[in-house]
Amino acid sequence: MLLAINSNNTNIKFGLYDGDTERGSWRIGTDTKRTADEYAVWISQLMTLKGMKSADVTQCLIASVVPDTLFNLKMLCRSYFNCDPLIYTDPEVIKGTVAKVDRPEEVGADRLVNTVAAHHLYGGPAIVVDFGTATTFDVVDGDGNYCGGAIAPGINLSIEALRMAAALLPRVAVRRPEKVIGSTTVGCFESGIFWGYVSLIEGLVARIRAEFGQPMKVVATGGLVPLFAEATDIFDHLDQDLTMRGLVIVNRLNRTQ
């Protein structure tokens, strides 16, 4: 089985796959000081609860936008799963897409993997909207190439930044308010955050489509997808596991060469 690891700024996600079938999925907060031994204790217990053991893992693939986590994730794969992992950012690894931008080396691994997944699973041209630490908009052309996009602050990051800068604003959860016009401070804050983000999504998608000049599908991924999908019809496909499914595709591309 494949152990796919996606290391992002907020969480590291581990997915165990038998072919295309997910057998287990787990998250842990990103901590650059966490050792391979700590990862091993944590994930081995979770695998046991699913009726699996470390010997079931025969392949590993790591994609990371946090370079300082790579060493210990590599050691985890080598020491506890007896696998030499594929590292998505390594030059010899087949990326599954071409980054047609001014500085390809600056594009995050997660954005490229999302491009691969969107193209293989849904076709193109497409826009991938990923609700993570940042909210990213990735443009995929009809051939599956990454063509750039946009990056906005993630909604939780925006809430925390505004709350820290304004002494009288309370901490609020991300939820859909019943009304756009708030009648309390909390209501106004919730409305601005939620409906402001809906407008940001719809506005950027419309502008990207107009600039690209072709019909484009919109694929949404990330933990907040269900919440925003109820408030807009801008999304054609909802796929909370898009990045992990992309890692499975990338692994297959590399192992069959």
Supply the residues annotated as catalytic.
110
> Does 13 count as an annotated binding residue?
yes
Relative to beta strand 146-153, strand 21-29 is: unpaired
> Does 51 count as an annotated binding residue?
no
> Does 184 count as an annotated binding residue?
no
> Does 163 count as an annotated binding residue?
no
> Does 156 count as an annotated binding residue?
no
Contacts of 218 (CB under 8 A, 6+ apart): 126, 127, 129, 205, 234, 235, 236, 237
> Does 118 count as an annotated binding residue?
no
> Does 185 count as an annotated binding residue?
yes
Tokens for 107, please give them: 């594009």
> Does 11 count as an annotated binding residue?
yes
Q: Is the dihedral of CA 164, 168, 172, 176 positive or negative?
A: negative
Q: How far is CA 83 from CA 29, 51, 70, 159, in A?
A: 23, 20, 15, 41
Residue 87 — φ and ψ, nearest 5°? -110, 120
- Is cis: bond before 125, omega within 30 of 0? yes
> Does 130 count as an annotated binding residue?
yes
> Does 141 count as an annotated binding residue?
no
Relative to beta strand 146-153, strand 134-140 is: antiparallel
Binding-site residues for substrate, please?
A: 108-111, 185
Binding-site residues for K(+), please?
A: 130
Binding-site residues for ATP, please?
A: 6-13, 133
Binding-site residues, please?
A: 6-13, 108-111, 130, 133, 185
